[in-house]
Structure 1
Amino acid sequence: MDSTTFEQLVVEAIEDLPPPFGDYLENVEIIVARRPTREQRRALELKPWHTVYGMYDGVPYTERTGGMLLLPDTIVIFQDALQRDFRTAAQLREQVRRTVLHEIAHLFGISDDRLRELDAY
């Protein structure tokens, strides 16, 4: 799948969000990358054999205080791993959606442990 078609899956996942959530994404840059950089893998503490579909970089809303000067938050969706692991169009579309929602959850301060508790993995 070419990058433009894949990016459209990400756009669809964002457009499907209920309107109130879209307001919280105004200062969030959402990027599609083929794979994580060496620095991103280090930041996520990934071993060479680990796979990652997305990452959130920023200060979650739950950790912000008044007067903080913040750079835009960033969500990165990694195309190669998703395409490799989800072969059909339906599977890929669903996992891209799940990955986008997962990373948005981090923006709201929801940890990976809490997402596991909620059975959101």
Structure 2
Amino acid sequence: MNGQAISMTGPAPDADAIEAIARDTIARLPAQFRAHLGDVVLLVEEVADEETLAALGIEHPLDLTGVYHGRPVGDKSSMDPAAMPDRIHLYRRAILDEWVETGVRLDDLVRHVTIHEIGHHFGLSDADMHALEDEARD
């Protein structure tokens, strides 16, 4: 997917296409970040479920392109009880809606959403996330 533009004509990209861009993004991250992502589950779903939307105070499912479920790395302890694995959810229909509305390249948009959610995993600030996104683009 590196630099490959996906056309807005024809069938909409499927979940596999979105996941491929997200996995390529992760593969391009600096090694010190990738080393802490091995147990994080990446899921591409059509839209967020009602429970997630309600928890975030979001009314319309197309307003949420992605979400991180878990505890940031810095908040974890070896003494923590076993928990569900951390998860990054990307929401295909919301991503495609934003893609069409903004005209941003799909790979750039998916990269942005993926890195933003990874940033939550690491407890990063928005400025740190933008720097990480720039590194993953190179």
TM-score w.r.t. the length of structure 1 is 0.83
Equivalent residues, number = 115
Determine the C-alpha separation between the residues in 1 that align with 2:19 and 2:62.
23
1:30 counterpart residue number:
42
Determine the C-alpha separation between the residues in 1 that align with 2:52 and 2:76.
23
Determine the C-alpha separation between the residues in 2 that align with 1:77 and 1:50.
11
Q: Do the aligned partners of 2:40 and 2:87 also contact (CA within 8 Å) in 1?
A: yes
Structure 1 position 53, deviation (Å): 0.9
What CA RMSD, in Å, does the superposition of the two structures yield over aligned residues? 2.2
2:84 is aligned, of 71, 92, 97, to 71
Q: Do the aligned partners of 2:61 and 2:94 also contact (CA within 8 Å) in 1?
A: no
2:66 counterpart residue number:
54
Structure 1 position 89, deviation (Å): 8.7
Q: 1:49 to 1:12 in 2, by over 3 A?
A: closer
**Runs in 1 of length 4+ with deviation above 2 angstroms?**
47-50, 87-90
1:99 counterpart residue number:
113
Determine the C-alpha separation between the residues in 2 that align with 1:49 and 1:71.
24
Structure 2 residue 88 is matched with structure 1 residue 84: no
Task: Please show how residues 106-121 of structure 1 align to structure 2 within 5 Å.
Answer: 106-110=120-124, 114-115=125-126, 118=127, 120=130
Q: 1:49 to 1:10 in 2, by over 3 A?
A: closer
1:72 aligned counterpart, secondary structure: coil
Structure 1 position 4, deviation (Å): 1.8
Determine the C-alpha separation between the residues in 2 that align with 1:109 and 1:71.
18
Determine the C-alpha separation between the residues in 2 that align with 1:2 and 1:109.
30
1:56 aligned counterpart, secondary structure: strand
Q: 1:86 to 1:50 in 2, by over 3 A?
A: closer
Structure 1 position 90, deviation (Å): 6.2
Amino acid at match of 1:80: R
Q: 1:49 to 1:97 in 2, by over 3 A?
A: closer
Percent identity of equivalent pairs? 26
